[in-house]
Amino acid sequence: MRRHVQPDKSTLMTEGPIARQLIAFALPLLLGNLFQQLYNTADSLIVGNFLGSEALAAVSSSSNLIFLLVGFFNGLAMGAGVVISRYYGARDIARLHKAIHTMIATGLVVGLLLTGVGVSLTPILLRMMGTPESVLPMSISYFRTYFYGSMAFVMYNICMGILQAVGDSRHPLYYLIVSSLVNIALDLLFIGGFGWGVGSAAAATAISQVVSTLLCLYRLMHSDRDYRVSLRKIRFDLPSLRQILQNGVPSGVANCIISFANVVVQANINAFGPAAMAGCGAHSRIEGFAFLPVTCFNMALTTFIGQNLGAQRYDRVKKGVRVGVLCSAGIAQVVALAIFIFSPQLIALFDSNPEVVAYGVMHQRVTTPFFFLAAYTHAMAATLRGAGKATVAMLGMAICWCLIRVPYVTLATTIRPVLTSVSWAYPITWTLSSVFFTIYYLRARWLPRENR
């Protein structure tokens, strides 16, 4: 039975100006993700400057593999966010509580599994990627240490996802700022002060994630809103778990597919040596900043669409999609232009080795002119996830970013064995995925017939 209560007007997105709500929700996310990207980049900056190019290569080569393992569980969190936002928009508080506590229970189990899998499979996976022997011991150290902190990583993303699903993007911002500062301070202390190796950079990240997890949990447990968490209520509710899995598994599979394709791409980059690994790794950190607006508007779109579909406000759904997609793609391309112009200086921040800079600049100047297509693809996929069409989003990513990208890279590097061949995999598959999602959005019945 539904129990209707007075909603929190500051987080409910079913009334009011659409553009203002999306921007107001996305802006704290953008600032928060800037800090999150900052502490991810701090690892590379401090490692590259204090420990050298091979240490930077070790950290850089681990990033795609890390996301391959954690991407599935992040997808589950995204699926839970869709379910929670629907119930919150519909003011179905009883089911809202069950979904929230079920997701926390799921996170505890997932954190344990991810720790075991990540730690035990580290050497095997890194060797499968063709990681050079010169950097393999450092990569193993970084990778294993990172996964010892899996529980904090998983629980932080789940708790933050709950807050975002109910429209609260301010408190995650505050917690990210704190954890980012903790991470940077520990990086400088462990590496610059104590002279420890690359594993200490992962340890600094894990400790900072513990801090942010505790802050998020404290907020959820002491809130006077509808989404308050009680430790005694953390258990599995099978109907809620079923809905979370229905929405989350396709998103998780899509993340794994993208990550698998990127691991294959990384393996091809590894074949060109440590300098190519370091240069492309530096680019990936910079690219992370460029795609922050994309990530933020994706989260805003998913939450907005979920709440408004729950409230049956279909007219607001269509308007919200237009605003979110235009903002995401437009801002991404403006940032991409700046990266294109200042590419040599940006890569040199991580490693001033001329060979590393040359590889990084080449990779950036091939990919950045097409950032708007990647942003468009992610925004459309977020729209479909919010509408409960996560399987379609998964198929689009699987076809374009895996089934096409992987064979392309293999064939292209065989015909023309230069790093440029690998770099072009991204613009080509971004273009194809943009076409796929445009056709589906315009022709498919993803809203009730009378509201399409």
Q: pLDDT band for position 62 (50/70/90)?
A: low
pLDDT digits (tens, 9 = 90+) for 95-126: 999 999 999 999 899 889 889 988 898 888 88
Q: Is 312 exposed, middle or buried (0-12, 13-18, 19+ CB in 10 A)?
A: middle
The pLDDT of residue 8: 54
Contact between 142 and 56 under an 8 Å Cβ cutoff? The reply is no
Name the average pLDDT for the chain.
84
- Residues 182-198, mean pLDDT to the nearest whole number: 88
C-alpha distances (whole Å) from 337 to each of 24, 256, 271, 342, 439 are: 25, 29, 29, 9, 28
> CA of 132: how far to CAs of 58, 140, 152, 302, in Å?
9, 12, 30, 40
The structure tokens listed for 363 are 């990779």
Instruction: Judge whether residue 451 has pLDDT over 60.
Output: no
Q: Evaluate whether 212 touches 173 at the Cβ level (below 8 Å).
A: no
Give the model's pLDDT for residue 161.
84
Better-predicted residue by pLDDT, 203 or 134:
203
- Residue 5's SS3 state is coil
Report pLDDT for 11.
Answer: 64
**Average pLDDT, stretch 295-316?**
85
CB 73 within 8 A of CB 154: yes
Ramachandran class of 441: left when φ > 0, alpha when ψ lies in -120 to 50, beta otherwise: alpha
- In this prediction, residue 367 carries a pLDDT of 94
Identify the DSSP state of 318: H
Instruction: Give mean pLDDT, residues 392-401.
Output: 88
Residue 9 has pLDDT above 70, yes or no: no
Mean of pLDDT values over 270-281: 87
CB-based contact 96:84 (threshold 8 Å)? yes
Q: From CA 7, how far away is CA 9, in angstroms rounded?
A: 6
- Residue 74's pLDDT band, with cuts at 50, 70 and 90, is confident
**Collapsing DSSP states into helix, strand and coil, what is residue 424?**
coil
For 30-39, the pLDDT digits (tens) are 887 777 666 6
Structure tokens at 373: 């297509």
* Spatial distance between the Cα atoms of 398 and 256, rounded to a whole number of angstroms: 9
Over residues 421-431, the pLDDT tens digits come to: 999 999 999 99
Residues with Cβ within 8 Å of residue 2, at least 6 apart in sequence: 90, 91, 92, 93, 94, 95
How remote is the C-alpha of 206 from its chain's centroid?
17
Closest alpha carbon to 318 in 395, 387, 390: 387
27 or 11, which is more confident: 27
- DSSP assignments along 122-145, one per residue: HHHHHHHTT--TTTHHHHHHHHHH
Q: What is the pLDDT of residues 140-168, one digit of tens each?
A: 888 889 889 889 888 988 888 898 888 88
CA torsion, ordered 137, 73, 148, 265, to nearest 10 deg: 10
Rg of the chain taking only CA atoms, in angstroms: 21
Q: Are 327 and 299 in contact (CB under 8 A)?
A: no
Average pLDDT over residues 127-142: 82
**Region 76-80: what's the mean pLDDT?**
79
Q: Identify the pLDDT of residue 428.
A: 95
What is the C-alpha separation between 248 and 74, in angstroms, rounded?
A: 8
At 446 the three-state DSSP class reads: coil
Under 8 Å between Cβ of 307 and 89: yes
Say which residues have a Cβ less than 8 Å from residue 206's Cβ, sequence separation at least 6. Answer: 145, 146, 148, 149, 152, 153
User: Given a cut of 70, is residue 71 above it in pLDDT?
Assistant: yes
**Mean pLDDT of the region 41-53:** 77
pLDDT of residue 5: 43
Residue predicted with more confidence, 419 or 1: 419
Q: Which residues contact 279 (CB under 8 A, 6 or more apart)?
A: 347, 351, 355, 356, 357, 358, 359, 360, 361, 362, 363
Is residue 102 within 8 A of residue 235, CB to CB? The reply is yes
What is the band of 450 on the pLDDT scale with cuts at 50, 70, 90?
very low
Q: How far apart are the first and last CA of the chain?
A: 30
Q: For 340, list phi and psi in degrees, rounded to 5.
A: -60, -45
Is residue 129's pLDDT more than 80?
Answer: no
CA atoms of 153 and 174, how far apart (whole Å):
17
Distance of CA 136 to the CA centre of its chain: 26
The answer to whether 27 and 171 are in contact (CB under 8 A) is no
Higher pLDDT, 10 or 263: 263
Distance in angstroms (rounded) separating the CA atoms of residues 62 and 142: 8
Q: How far is CA 162 from CA 33, 185, 303, in A?
A: 16, 28, 10
Quick one: pLDDT at residue 271? 86
- Helical ranges in 342-424 per DSSP H: 343-350, 354-367, 371-386, 390-398, 405-415, 419-423
The length of the chain in residues reads: 452
